[in-house]
Amino acid sequence: MNRKLYDIHYHLFDLSHPNLLAFLLRDDLITKNAVRKILGELPFIFKITPLWLLSLFSLRISDKVKDYLKHDAGKVLNLLSVMEGAADYHFLYTEYFLLKENLYFGKTATARYNKIAVCPLIIDFGYKGMEKPDYFYNFPPAKPIVNQVLDLLRAIYFYYNYDIILHPDKPEKLKLIPTATPKEEKLFEIYPFLGINTQNYDLSEITELFDKYFRGYEYDHSPSDRQIKLFNKLGTVKVDLEDMIFRRKEASDSGYYSYLFAGIKLYPPLGFDPWPTDNPKELEKVRFLYSECIRRNLPVTVHCSEGGFNTSPDAELLTNPSKRWQMVLSRPEYSNLKINFAHFGRQNDGKKDWQQTILSNIYRNGNIYTDCSCLTPQADDYEKIKEVMNKNSESNILFGTDFIINLIWSNSYNEYLNNFIRNPFLDDRQKEQMCEINPERFLFG
């Protein structure tokens, strides 16, 4: 057996990475149903009482909220439990539970795949587009991607150089030990995407980012050449914050930071404008970004859903694939730009406008892709994918989980992967297209 499942849409977060205000205000984290459940358990008199009187019963209300969090908000607590852990151990921790289950992954008799290739997507949270609040420490929190990059590189280094086992003396804990497993035999291959919001940098800084992280990509002569270089770099880079900022490692090795990333991640709801026609300087940066992605054969994954981390007042305009993005896709010079419009353009209230726009672009341009991340936490959800999968689209639909964010809807990474493997709506050939053939072409082709 030598099969590899690609999870094209993956996240490594700890609580320091996202803008927590944007995180807590996600529509799918604190839902209407959760609020109704809490209110539904309060005595009727509370529901008809003026708000100023409710303050007299604040203890009773707070008890109901705490009771909900303890007993009914299991998925939210599960998500926060993973986010609260150290990012360094993230891949080791996730692998531990996959192998412990002993089902579809690894080298056992029941295994379908002996490798999982994940693409952690760094989101450039930055700080643009956020209003200055009226409390004391009122500067919007800056979230420079260098900190996320550093944590991700440490997590990759730890994964390929260590293992975790049950502690021999403390069975409730895990213990870190040096690994005896060669890199080629590890379960995970890790191909991250670098998050960039052009509004957070000037053009010279964006040029430096491409020179730092993507040096030499334009000379790769085949998909296998690109893949081998990315794989060989895994687990070899160990840096601290000063090294990252001042680029000290490059003094002796100009390509030290190259081949750490497989592509670029864009996030319009945080303010990235795909085609800023009213801002010539910003448009110049965006055009440079696209041209460099084409020149260096870098795939791009862009958030395309009405959910997510929304801080821009223009989130809908910037995210909608039929608006600003259509201005990009209609230009011949960007016909070779590989873009994955993630989440299948999921809209609220069952609307399908964005999904239809994405499918229309796929039919016209083989370099356009989409993924099913966060749409399919249950096996039955793949019926929706089956409905739109046809000979014109099946080569451009990718499997993705949106882990760890998908813990809002799913109990575990194991569960999400298992539901894909055993769903009855897609046949084996379609599953192979989604999780093996298509993502490999998107990443390296």
**pLDDT on residue 65:** 57
What is the distance of C-alpha 60 from the center of its chain?
Answer: 39
**What is the CA angle 64-65-71, rounded to 5?**
85
Taking alpha carbons only, the member of 308, 307, 357 closest to residue 329 is 357
**pLDDT on residue 72:** 55
**pLDDT on residue 109:** 84
DSSP E strands: which ranges in 121-187? 162-166, 174-178
The neighbour count for residue 99, using CB atoms within 10 Å, is: 15
DSSP E strands: which ranges in 233-274? 263-266
Q: Are 370 and 341 in contact (CB under 8 A)?
A: yes
Residue type, 401: T
Residues of the chain below pLDDT 70? 1, 18-74, 127-144
Backbone torsions φ then ψ of 264, nearest 5 degrees: -120, 140
Backbone torsions φ then ψ of 178, nearest 5 degrees: -60, 140
* CA 258/CA 216 separation, integer angstroms: 8
Long-range contacts of 79-82 (CB under 8 A, 24+ apart): 79/404, 79/405, 79/407, 79/408, 80/15, 82/404, 82/407
* CA 113/CA 420 separation, integer angstroms: 13
Say what the alpha-carbon torsion angle 140, 277, 366, 305 is, to the nearest 10 degrees. 40
Q: Are 14 and 296 in contact (CB under 8 A)?
A: no
**pLDDT on residue 250:** 87
**pLDDT on residue 223:** 97
DSSP state of 396: G
* CA 144/CA 12 separation, integer angstroms: 15
**pLDDT on residue 173:** 86
Both tokens of 158, joined, read 């730890």
CA separation (Å) from 84 to 13, 15, 55, 402?
9, 6, 32, 18
Tell me the β-bridge partners of 369. 340
* CA 435/CA 161 separation, integer angstroms: 27
The predicted-structure confidence for 387-430, as pLDDT tens digits, reads as follows 999 999 999 999 999 999 998 889 999 999 999 999 999 999 99
Q: Give the SS3 label for residue 316.
A: helix
Place of tokens 């290739």: 117
**pLDDT on residue 82:** 83
Taking alpha carbons only, the member of 67, 65, 97 closest to residue 81 is 97
Place of tokens 């991250």: 192
Alpha helix segments (H runs only) across 189-300: 203-213, 223-233, 241-246, 280-295
- In the chain the domains, ranked by start, together with CATH numbers, are 4-27+85-444 (3.20.20.140), 32-74 (no CATH)
Both tokens of 319, joined, read 């995210």
Q: Are 210 and 121 in contact (CB under 8 A)?
A: no
Taking alpha carbons only, the member of 22, 94, 87, 6 closest to residue 299 is 6
